[in-house]
Structure 1
Amino acid sequence: MSVDKGYLNLLAHLRQPKSTLSEETLHSAICHYLIQSSPTPLVESILASPRWQSTPVSLKSTLGLGNSFKSAAYLKWQDLKKSERGFFDVSISSEFTTWTRDILNGSKDGPALLRISIRQVEEELVIAFAEIMDLIFRSNSDPWANEFEKEKVNNNDKANISVLLAANYFVNISDSALSALKLQPLATLCLSTIDHAFLSGKYLQKASLLPNGQESSSTPYSELKKDIDTITQSAEFTHVASVCKLLTRIVDLLTNHAYRSKSKKELWDLCSNITTLTRALCQQVDTDWRTSRLAEVDSEDQLDENLRSISKSIWTILKTQLFATLMLQQSTLTCILFLPPPSTSTGTSVNTTQTHAAATLARTILQTLCYFSFVLSAFGGVSSGAGGAGSKDSAFPELKRVFYMTLDILSSPSPPLPFSSTSTSLDKEVEHRCEKVIKELVEWEFDKIILNPSSNSTRTKLKVGRSYIEARKSFILCCMEQLIPLLRDEFIETTVLPFCQPHLSDPTNRETYESAHSVMLAIFAAHAEKSQSPGVISNSTEKEAEIKTGVGIDATEKGKGVDRTPSTTNLATRLVPGYARLLLENAKEGGLTVSQLRLAYAALVRSTYMTHTNPVLNQQRNRSTTTKNTFQDVLSKVGLGPARTGTTSDGSLSLTWLCVEQLLQAIHDQRNQQEGRDQRLVKRAERKEELTPLALHLTLISLLPSLIHTHTHTISLPTTFSSTNTDTTTKVNTNTSNSTQLNLLTHYLTTLSDLITAHPSHPERCVLVENVFEEIQERVLSSGGPGGEEEVLRWWFGCCERWGVEGRGERAERADSEEAEGEEGDEREEGRL
């Protein structure tokens, strides 16, 4: 029997330390003859080849060898499926099993590192990797072995290659087989590989040495490019995603098998190491970025030609690091969210320590995201995808999941201690923790220079572009928005509001502009929510509540759940007039969009009404003897201006009508300035592409669902106000010669109908009528709660008679006609069938 000359040439090349054949040709030949010849002697020759014994094995060579066996297995299976078989022939699966067994027989005595690269069955693969780990950790712990530098380097190379091979091949290994390994040392190797893949975060250190635009030296550029190329061309960076996946799988396996305290401690130590490493990497990158010319520009067009050629590779590394960080953080958060920390040495679990441990890791993760805020802004930030101007660049789900899970852990109290009567201490712990996190984000040392520069000399030392600063501010504002319900009003007044105020009227950066308004709305939302559920007064705030409300607290009621004013009530109430006016001032081109203005103003009005339904707050207002300075203090501090003068303030409903009145006044002022509206402008306003006076009318209509529950309440208004609208107001009762009692909902509906009826533009009037119909149909009738639905419907049908064909709106009529045509088409189709 003749032997194939190609097979003999392959064996000859395998016997040589170096071959004239390329690796691709050699691997292709191995794949071919594994199928065509007996695999056992060929596998023995491959593993015994000096090609992989005399020189350090590279990752490319081992992966190529593994792919040869992978391709051979696939092609062998395809050949067996195509072959003709008789009735008594061996089945395809049996023949393929025999071929696989022959390969395994040939690899029994081969080196462990090469046996990994061949992708054997999982048991053999795990055993081979265990041998590598024993070799690595045994030599590293042996002082005698450490004396030999060459051996130490070889072991490090073996560790890196073995981790990268495991990351690529352990995907097909079952959890039970993978659990047989020592997972903690394997995780340590993965962390070391990730750190090495990003050069410990120091790949931008040479960027701080880049010359100014006037200088022409190319040496710093070449050094920076060398560091960047070192990363992008390294095997660790190329396979860092696979390494991160392997590490997250290890965390999941340890979480599922953490039954003993020792296992829990190892798992929590691993989670701590992960968060510490990711923060250190991101912090180093952020420091080097801020001190380089990369942070001085807001777009790549401002970079010189040399730096522009490198920036693309830099951003590739930054995005890869961001994805790797989020992958590891998500796995860590899942672990600390569902698995409590290990017990203490005394054997009892201390809840305060557990919460502190989980909160510490969460705070570390939040700091890591803050360091990388300039990278997050490239994806729209954590607040994108919520209807903002940059919604087309909405943040990917992994980023939002990590961000909100982190804040959930920070804002969650620990379980109550055994035999604990109250949870006041836990609430205080969460409150203090959240305030500490916000304060750290705002007052970090470099933030004192960037965000709150106190001296020109300090500022000139650090030139940072506006885009970097705005990205950091936007991230902090998003954190504030989510933690507002847990912050004290004093902290909000002294820290949050001064931070937001500069951005409330500055739409040049949409991200910070919208985030600042979201924080303000979060304050009002927290105010409304807490007003619906009475709180528990703490010992530290009893005296303050007594002074503010005039209500004494009996000593026997301390600690027994005494109702008190929510912490944000007074602050939010004082902010209402100034913020309502600020929203109207931002109703201009380039400011808030129509939808944003409508949502924000409706939320503001709704929060003022919610306060009215709390009996404790009403009792406190009734005890107030003056409201002269109700809105002045906070507004003057944050720059929102004083309250409107001459407005009554007898409770929260007066605030509700104050917002409506300011909106009506703005409509009146713009209507006096409005002349000759163009049909094109009406269509653009309807598409919500441009803010016009019509936007204020639409905002007034959006208040209908917020005012629906005020049908049983009356409000005292000055006679001078009602006398100018005697034809449109409903007088219920007159107590004095200076005021008139009006039903709030009735007065609002009457004013709204008069505005629509008197509107000079027929196209705009149609738009207003259609929006009224949509508000009633989609929000009023679908709310399902008790309210003034009957009164609104009576008002609506009465207005339909006045408006005639406009009563339903042209859009609704078109929808009905299209629906009717569709039903007729269905009937005709059924007739044909």
Structure 2
Amino acid sequence: MAAQDRGYTLLLNHLHNPNTTLAPQTIQGALSHHLATLSPLPTPLAATAISSPYFISQPLTYNKLNTLSTAFRHAVHLKFTALSKEEEKLGRLEGLFKQSLSSAMDTWVKDVVRGLQGGDPVLRLASCNGLLLGVEDVRLHARNPSNGSSSSASNSKETATGTETAPVRFEIPGARGVVEDEDIVALAEVMDAYAFSFASGASAHGVEEWEKEFQPAGQDLLSMALIFASQSFPLIPQDKLKVLPLPMLSQILTSTICATFKSGTFLSSVSASVTLTPDNRVHISPSSAFAQTIHSIKTSPLTASISSIARFTANVLALLLDLPSSHLDEHMRAVEHCLEALRDMAKKVERDWISTSLASVSDAEIAPDTKALSKSVWSILKTLLFTIIMVSDSALSAAVYIPPPAITTTIIKTNSSHQVPSSSSFALETLYTLSHLAFVISQFGGVTSTSSTGFKELKKTFYLALDILASPSSSSSPSSFSDALSSSAAIGSGGEGEGGSQGSNNSPKAEAYVEEVCRALKAQKGEGNVAFRQAKEAFALASIEQLVPVLGDECIRNWVWGVCYPHLFDASHRETFESAHSTVLAIFACHAQQQQQLQQSQRSYPAQCLDGNGDSADAMFAWFNKVRSMSPGQQLRDRAAAESDRSGPSSSESRGRSNAHPRSKKRGGPKKTMISTEFVKMLVPFYAGCLVDNSVDGKLTTPQLRMAYTALVRSACASATAPDGVGYDETFSLAWYCVQLLLDTLSRLTTNELTNNDPGKGKGKGRAATRDEDTSPNRVHRLHLTLISTLSALPLKLLGKALEEVYKIIITVKPTTASTYIESTPTLPSAMTTTGTTTKRKRELVEALFGEILEGMGDREKGYAMAWWYEHRAALLAVVGDTEGGHHGVEGAAAKGSAEDGEPEKAKTDMVEKVGSSSRARL
């Protein structure tokens, strides 16, 4: 006991000595021990520690605060262990008259908090942080049932191998609530004492001169206090945090994040610090200004705690947008201020990165003693990206649930010069910020990476921002109910189903974003190195691709196409190359969808609902009443008639429909936003040739080529009907042009291959020209598969002709030259290698053909195609040497390959046999 008293006395002496030489770890351990063992109460020691000269003396460093917080956290562990051992020693009868473990811990924690009250707010915040973390540590404590505790015996379960301990939740809700309340009060007092600039609205660089005179010393205490708050506040219920001034707290946290990364200027001194070694390698001296800046960021306690600070910031922003408050406009501005600060910081980083030599050198071109510094720079850049994504994702996820009417009402009430930001404003800020960091995103494979180990949070934030920007709420609201009905009728489906609203409602903010991004790409053509520009272009194209459904025809013509065109033939940067093709395909898919919606609207929206100007609300309601008075059977028949024709109407239907839905210039909304059919008709021939040119090895893969050409043919079929319903092309000449281009290319490649293999054929320039073209069997086979993939996109009028062409190709495929395959299989004879490869390719073509018929076609086309299949089945199976067919042959393999919808393979082939029987009966 005397030794314990002496140790306690020594601890008090060191706490009262601000210049003590005792190690902080020793003071931490002694304080934890005596807090847990001091009798009768720990209150005096807690009060002494928080007001002692050792902790309260200036400067108040992070190490001191961390020592204090850790001491209280460890004290909770020590007290819990001591009480648990005492409980084990008690007998069953003695335990009835003793305080329970949870009750004893509850009393002890409350006594400690009582000693903290009234102390310095920063020290109190650090102490409560340690207490709350300690309480959370012991909350889930597994006790061994062998210790004799009655409570633990009831929480064990018998297993096959013996007794297994189940976790016991150790709850002390009363004391935990007291610690949480004290933690919140301490943070509020810290904000009152050290956040003058945020409370008074002064500049972010400081406060007014007269305020500085009364400001406590050590402005950095605010950032250090937030470090400890970010560790414990996620453990506090969200309802309790709502009592804090959340807008000011979000500004303080944002300022702390910016301070962590030097407001984005940590790369500004790179150019002045770089030198070249004698062997022309990049060298940066450890004593240079840039190296010192990077070292200060790496060793800063803010950097070590940036993940918890970012998580705390994200939580505060979500609370701001979740609060059902009349101050929603203030909360929205606070969130926008945070996102704008992150964007400005990313912009500065991008500006400085362009001019740095580290952006244009490889790892081999960096001096060995500078490689560690280079890795530290990339580590800081990635940490900045992670922080921005965490904060932005939280803001966007919460903004999704803010109803547009609430935002509109707030704007009307405020009547100020600054509009209240909306969800689309947050999305724009996020996209701009990520665009500035595109060179960092490229290190993770870009936003379009399909790798399972990719950056999932990045993709979530990126696509969520695009979804918000493309949503109908981001566009202008309808001025009246009749305008909304007119727009809904013009769209066709009127809902948000499969392309419902996005197909015809353009978004002004989305168009403005696309125009600005495209303009920035043109302006930055000569800036930075090649890798930097490619990363920017890939990010821009990936963004534009998702926004195509809400872009107008003018925006696509003037901006989108100009950005895509230079990359359609250049596969040197894979991400940019694929993104450019995906964007063009999005244009075709959007156009086809708009045409389909237009046909549905013209079928289901008769002329009687409109007057001469097409804007009569009375006539519209009259038509709705007429439909409502129809029987359910009549409504179903009308709806079935409107949706029965997938491939296109007949000529009589088109003539009837040309007068069914007159459109005047006054009703120009949907017509203005639709992609021009004339533009698509000009684009289809060019892009068909582009895809054929990209069918060589090293460019588009076989699946990419097949999907792209199918989408192209489908859009060409949709172009047979003009936007006004007039000018229907019964022959689908544009779609057949795409098919014929494939046929002509295959014919030319086959002829050129035979000519190149025969030295006696071909002379002069003609022969030289044929040798320049890739006539490899791989390319020919790839085009064969592409031709088969277009079958599901063709209308019934073209399907029969296309099937016959495919049949001729499969039947007449000639064996490829043996020299192409000898290198891969040198042990086989040439004839055997050629024959085996050709048979394998033919089998793949037949399986692809049957799979396209089985899975890709609509009901009407499938009926015709299955009849055709069973008419030519014997010949097709004989070509590939399949004598069985059914489950074990080509049909079974095709059904297995297309069974992605969960339908068993046997069920598919049984269905095929059933359809085949009926088809043979009709034949």
User: Shorter-chain TM-score category?
Assistant: 0.7 to 0.9
Change (3 A) 1:708 1:162: closer
| Residues 768 and 617 (structure 1), Cα distance of their counterparts in 2 relative to 1, 3 Å cut | farther
2:447 aligns with 382
Q: 1:168 aligns with which of 206, 213, 231?
A: 231
Q: Is the 8 A contact 1:524 1:572 kept in 2?
A: yes
Could you tell me which residue of structure 1 aligns to residue 734 of structure 2? 652
Residue 34 (structure 2) pairs with residue 33 (structure 1): yes
CA contact (8 A) 1:112 1:131 kept: yes
Preserved CA contact (<8 Å) 2:787 2:806: no
Aligned AA for 1:701?
L
Superposed, which structure 2 residues align to 1:16-95 within 5 Å? 16-38=17-39, 39-82=42-85, 83-87=88-92, 88-89=94-95, 90=98, 91-95=100-104
Correspondent of 1:576 among 678, 684, 689? 684
User: 1:163·1:243 contact (CA, 8 Å) conserved in 2?
Assistant: yes
Deviation at 1:279, TM superposition (A): 0.8
Instruction: Kindly indicate whether the alpha-carbon contact (under 8 Å) linking 1:77 and 1:96 is maintained by their aligned counterparts in 2.
Output: yes
Moved more, 222-231 or 487-496: 487-496
Match of 2:582 in 1: 518
Superposed CA deviations along residues 96-124 of structure 1, whole A, max 9, x for unmatched, are 22322332233234322222212241011
- Kindly provide the amino acid, as one letter, of the partner of residue 376 in structure 1: I
> Does 1:441 find its partner at 2:505?
no
The aligned counterpart of 2:572 is 508
Equivalent residues of 1:611, 1:617 under 8 A apart: no
Matches within 5 A, 1:460-539: 464-534=528-598
Check the 8 A contact 2:707/2:789 in 1, yes or no: no
Q: Percent identity?
A: 28
Q: CA deviation at 1:245?
A: 1.2
Query: Is 1:805 matched up with 2:882?
Result: yes
When residues 816 and 522 of structure 1 are mapped into structure 2, their CA distance, relative to the original with a 3 A threshold, is: closer
- Give the equivalent residue in structure 1 for 2:846: 772
The 3 A distance-change label for structure 1 pair 217 and 127 is closer
1:471: Cα distance to partner? 0.6
* CA distances 1:409-450 after superposition (whole Å, capped 9, x unpaired): 222233433334244999998354333222211223xx4453
- Cα distance change, pair 779–485 in 1 and its aligned pair in 2 (3 A): farther
User: Is contact 1:248-1:328 (8 Å) kept?
Assistant: yes
* Structure-1 residue corresponding to 2:124: 115
Residue 371, structure 1, aligned to residue 436, structure 2: yes
Contact (CA 8 Å) 1:711, 1:745: kept in 2 or not? no
The answer to whether the aligner puts 1:132 opposite 2:190 as a matched pair is: yes
The 8 Å contact of residues 18 and 53 in structure 2, kept in 1 or not, is answered as yes
Structure 1 stretches lacking a partner, 5+ long: 386-390, 454-461, 541-548, 624-648, 677-689, 716-742, 818-822, 824-833
Q: Verify: 1:250 aligned to 2:316, yes or no.
A: yes
Shift of 1:294: 2.3
Range moving further from structure 2, 426-435 or 590-599: 426-435
Deviation at 1:185, TM superposition (A): 1.8
**How much does 1:616 deviate?**
6.2
Q: Call closer, same or farther: CA 1:433–1:132 in 2, change over 3 Å.
A: closer
What CA distance in whole angstroms lies between the structure 2 residues aligned with 1:276 and 1:804?
67
2:248 alignment partner in structure 1: 185
Does the aligned pair in 2 maintain the 1:210–1:221 contact within 8 Å? no
Distance 1:148 1:419 in 2: 54
Q: Does the C-alpha gap of structure 1 residues 241 and 578 become closer, same or farther in structure 2, counting only changes over 3 Å?
A: same
Query: 1-side partners of 2:669 and 2:91: how far apart?
Result: 85
AA at the equivalent of 2:2:
S
SS at match of 2:269: helix
- Greater displacement, 371-380 / 396-405: 396-405
Query: Could you tell me how far apart the structure 2 residues matched to 1:661 and 1:577 are?
Result: 14
- In structure 1, the residue matched to 2:754 is 672
Provide, for residues 467-491 of structure 1, a one-character-per-residue CA deviation record: whole Å limited to 9, x for no partner: 1111111111112222223334444
The 2-side partners of 1:814 and 1:790 are apart by 17
Q: Distance in 2 between matches of 1:560 and 1:290?
A: 45
Displacement, 1:776?
3.0
Residues in 2 aligned to 1:220 and 1:197: alpha-carbon distance in whole angstroms: 21
Matches within 5 A, 1:603-642: 603-612=711-720, 614=721, 619-622=726-729
Name 1:602's counterpart in structure 2. 710
- Cα drift, residue 225 of structure 1: 0.6
In the alignment, the residues of structure 1 paired with residue 210 and residue 733 of structure 2 have an alpha-carbon distance, to the nearest angstrom, of 82
Report how far residue 273 of structure 1 moved.
Answer: 0.2
2:2 corresponds in structure 1 to: 2
Asked if 1:747 corresponds to 2:804, the answer is yes
Task: Work out whether residues 434 and 483 of structure 1, in 8 Å CA contact, stay in contact via their aligned partners in 2.
Answer: yes
Q: Distance in 2 between matches of 1:554 and 1:150?
A: 75
Q: 1:803 to 1:187 in 2, by over 3 A?
A: closer
| Cα distance in 1 between the residues matched to 2:324 and 2:57 | 43
CA deviations on 1:549-579 (whole Å, 9 max, x unpaired) are 9x99968685299989952422222222322
Quote the Cα distance in structure 1 between the aligned partners of 2:672 and 2:555.
19
Compute the RMSD of aligned alpha carbons.
4.0
What residue is the counterpart of 1:408 in the other structure? 467
Q: In structure 1, what is the Cα distance between the partners aligned to 2:549 and 2:795?
A: 29
**2:330 pairs with 266, 271, 275, which one?**
266
Contact 2:848/2:894 (8 A) holds in 1: no
SS in 1 for 2:479: coil
Asked if 1 retains the 8 angstrom alpha-carbon contact of 2:716 and 2:735, the reply is yes
The answer to whether the 8 A contact 2:505-2:673 is kept is no
Cα offset, 1:138, TM superposition: 6.1
Deviation at 1:511, TM superposition (A): 1.4
Aligned with 2:376 (options 306, 313, 336): 313
Alpha-carbon distance change, 507 to 705 in structure 1, aligned in 2, over 3 angstroms: closer
Greater Cα shift, 554-563 or 696-705: 554-563
DSSP 3-state at the match of 2:54: helix
Kindly tell me: are residues 41 and 500 of structure 1, through their superposed partners in 2, closer, same or farther at Cα, counting changes over 3 Å? same
Q: CA deviation at 1:617?
A: 8.0
Structure 2: where are the runs of 5+ without partners? 132-178, 492-500, 603-611, 614-654, 759-773, 817-833, 897-905, 907-923
Aligned residues: 720
Secondary structure of the residue that 1:338 maps to in structure 2?
coil
**Residue type matched to 2:734 in 1?**
S
Q: How far off is 1:270 after superposition?
A: 0.9
Instruction: After TM superposition, give the deviation of residue 753 of structure 1 in Å.
Output: 2.8
Confirm whether residue 712 of structure 1 aligns to residue 796 of structure 2.
Answer: yes
Query: Which residue number corresponds to residue 861 of structure 2?
Result: 787
Contact 1:708 1:745 in 2 (8 A): no
Q: Output the TM-score relative to the length of structure 2.
A: 0.70
Q: TM-score, normalised by structure 1?
A: 0.77
- 8 Å CA contact retained: 2:569, 2:577: yes
Check 1:466–1:562 CA distance in 2 against 1; reply closer, same or farther (3 A cut).
Answer: closer
Are the aligned partners of 2:257 and 2:306 in contact in 1 as well (CA < 8 Å)? yes
Distance in structure 1 (CA, Å) of the matches to 2:347 and 2:571: 30
Match of 2:705, SS?
A: helix
Cα offset, 1:164, TM superposition: 1.5
Task: For residues 339-390 of structure 1, give each alpha carbon's deviation from its aligned partner in whole angstroms, at most 9, with x where no partner exists.
Answer: 146456785699xx989744333222222111111111111111111xxxxx
Equivalent pair of 2:810/2:845 in contact (CA under 8 Å): no
Shift of 1:50: 0.8
The 8 Å contact of residues 481 and 518 in structure 1, kept in 2 or not, is answered as: yes
CA–CA separation in structure 1 for the residues paired with 2:410 and 2:274: 57
Residue identity matched to 2:837: P
Q: Relative to structure 1, is the Cα distance of residues 480 and 161 closer, same or farther in structure 2, using a 3 angstrom cutoff?
A: same
Is the contact between residue 211 and residue 220 of structure 1 (CA under 8 Å) also seen in structure 2?
no
Alpha-carbon displacement from aligned partner over 1:455-478 (angstroms, at most 9, x marks no partner) = xxxxxxx5x211111111111111
Match of 2:623 in 1: none
Residue identity opposite 2:463 in structure 1: Y
Say yes or no: does 1:762 pair with 2:836: yes
- Pick closer, same or farther for the CA change 1:564–1:419 going to 2, 3 Å: closer
Match of 1:697 in 2: 781
Counterpart for residue 288 of structure 1? 352
Q: Which amino acid aligns with 2:302?
A: E
Q: Which amino acid aligns with 2:442?
A: S
For the 8 Å contact 1:252–1:331, the answer to whether it is kept is yes
In structure 1, the residue matched to 2:921 is none
